[in-house]
Every structure is written in C-alpha cells, then in structure tokens.
Amino acid sequence: MENIKLNMSRRIRRTPFTNKVEKCGVSDFTVVNHMLLPKGYRNSVEEDYWHLNKYVQIWDVSCQRQVQIFGPDAEKLVQKMTPRSIKNMETGKCFYIPIIDENAGMINDPVLLKLDDDMFWISIADSDILLWAKGLALGSNFNVNIIEPDVYPLAVQGPKSEELMVSLFGEDIKKIKFFNFKIFDFLGTKQIIARSGYSKQDGFEIYFKGFEEHFDRIELGEKLWDTIWEAGQKFNISPGCPNLIDRIEAGLLSYGNDFTKDNNPLECNLDRYCNENDNHEFVGKEALKKIKLQGIKQKIRGIIFEGEPYYPNGKLLNVFSEKNNKIGQITSGIYSPSLKKNIGLSMILKDYWDIGQNVVIETIDKRKIKGVITTLPFPK
C-alpha cells in the first residue's frame, strides 16, 4: 500500500493554496468534490490533535465547493431542496441543512450561506449538488442562475484563532457570532469570513474569492496564506487539516463515511431540521412523513470500546450485541488521547441504541472486545 500513488490529472483539481500546502510538508491527500484535500503533515494525528486543542492551525478546505444560486426564485429553489425552513433566515447567517432526495435519502449535509435575498451559497460535502440544483430548477421552471463560483474556503481553527484573526482584520472579528459571517477587506478585495469550521474548536472560515479584478487567483490566495502564516507565528500556528480524533469526539459526521443516500436525516440525528410544523414543500416530503410515521430502525450513536489504541485502516469494524447479533458497524473510529479510550461512530439498530447498552466489537483480526453505546458528542 505504501507504494500506491494517486495519479494526478485535470479531473483532480489543485487549489490556490496547494503550492503552500506542499511547501509545508503535506504527506497525504484525499479527493473531495474532485479537488485535493490535505489529510496529514509531518505530525501524527494525535500530535496534530493536541496542537489543535491548544493553538491555531490553517487548513486548506477549498474542497468545500460552493453552489451559488442567484435570481428571483433563489429562495424557492433552496427551500425545495431541504426539510429545514429558511423562511426567517437573515442575510449574514449560516444554516446547517440536510438535502434529501425523493426517497428522503441524504444526498448532502452542507452549510447554507445567505448573501442576499436573491443569492445563496451552498457549501457542500462530497456529492454533486450543482447538478441536482440545476435539475430541480429546470424541472420547476425557476428563474435562477446556478454556478460553482471561484471560491476556496480557508479555515483558521483552534483556541488562538480569534486572537490571530483580530490581529489581521480588527476587533470586528469578535462581533461575528457562531454560524454568522461578515465581509472584510483583504488587499482591496472583499472576503466573506464566517465563524464556523469542521472541528469542535473555535474557528473561522474565509470564503476566499479568487475572481477579484487585478489579481491572479493563485497569487492572491498565496498572499492570503502568507499573511495568516506570518501573523500566526506568535500564536504557534501550524498547517493542519480536519482532525479525525477531534471530529469523532465532537460527533461531526462525514458524508459518504458515516451515512449515505441510503440513510434518512432522522437516522442521522437531524430531527431538529425536519420540523413537522414547517409547512413548506420540499423534495422527499411525503417519503419523510412516512418514515416518521413508521419510525426508524437505526440511528447513529457513539461507541466507546476497549482494547489496544485503535487507528483507522480503511476497514469497518462489526458491532454485535452480547447475544452475537450483528447490530451495526463502526464507520469512523480512533483512539482518543484525552478520553484514553477508543471511540467510534456507528449506525445502531433500534433495540440496541439506548445509552449505556453493552455491545461487542469485532476487531480486524476477529477478536471480540467490549464496548458501550454513548451520547454524541462524546462525554468528557
């Protein structure tokens, strides 16, 4: 496996920050939305975890592509795509939204940004929502324009992130509430900065626009990276990426790993975004009503399990009841150095999903070890 390499081509897109990422010593990439996502540097996942918990990191998360919906019917189209009501959403807000298909299957769980009454960005997980939105707009004859804009998110994450961002953009950074955004100047360009990120730490995401006049995309992107990097030296900044330990501890789900289109939002603990009192129409509404009426058969839960420290190897771990009935699989798992236990996420059958339920985990080498169902996020 160590000699297997990823064959680069135009189908796998570089970002305005890839040159900087490579100079920082990136060791691994994955591909999300046809774009490179750094997955590791010189430090181990655990070393990266402790640094993220204490200081500040800069992440190239340009793979969080934007689907821009603009026009008179923009709000109608966005509302048709999700069970979550956006009726009272204000400009400057970010909403986490499930997007489902006609069978109520999850096809994405993006963050929605409202830029204006007639313009939205959908910051997507790893699936082609651009084509889905275009199809819905065409089928409904909506008056909208849908594109993937030249936008490349750059995350600044960790407890020192606010101090770093204030040093660059001023005290107004402190006024940004969680899941809100404001517009700031960078070298004469207007950049959206949101208080958000794929971690349980405080942090920000700069929705870097590479289409500003008088600047080359890569040139401007590298200026932004260098500016953050240089200012971050006194805060012990490090290059980083979404950290698996931090993500699992926080109960943050990964589309395509922890759930797929075969799962509905109720199984993914997204009930609060599927309010029965919301009377708007959306794709999959009747299917979701039927699922609510019949009840779900499985739900994502946390599992704490014993054994030697577990590190991911790309394989799933089977989960059994104490009577040896298979009841799920650990889809994301790792050793937590702060909890000093192995932790994982799993879709667990109804009869076994109660908190405190004892379970059995089957290791890769077929050994059986004890585990217990727990809440998400994981208890400290």
**313-342 confidence digits (pLDDT tens):** 888 999 999 999 999 999 999 999 999 999
pLDDT at 1: 44
Phi first, then psi, for residue 362 (nearest 5°) are -100, 120
Give the residues of the chain that fall short of pLDDT 70: 1-5, 212-214
Calpha distance 181→199 (Å, rounded): 17
Amino acid making up residue 292: K
Q: Which residues pair with 35 in a beta bridge?
A: 13, 32
Calpha distance 90→193 (Å, rounded): 16
Calpha distance 301→111 (Å, rounded): 22
Which pTM value belongs to this model? 0.96
Residues 173-201 as b/e (b if ≥16 CB within 10 A, e otherwise) read beebeeebbbebebeebebbbbbbbbbbb
pLDDT at 4: 61
The answer to whether 220 touches 189, Cβ cutoff 8 Å, is: yes
The answer to whether 195 touches 181, Cβ cutoff 8 Å, is: yes
Instruction: Report the DSSP pairing between strands 56-60 and 237-240.
Output: parallel
pLDDT at 116: 98
Calpha distance 114→95 (Å, rounded): 9
Calpha distance 21→199 (Å, rounded): 19
Contacts of 272 (CB under 8 A, 6+ apart): none
Domains and CATH numbers, the chain: 18-64+150-246 (3.30.1360.120), 66-147 (3.30.70.1400), 254-374 (2.40.30.110)
Q: Which residues pair with 191 in a beta bridge?
A: 184
Calpha distance 290→73 (Å, rounded): 29
Sign of CA dihedral 208, 212, 218, 219: negative
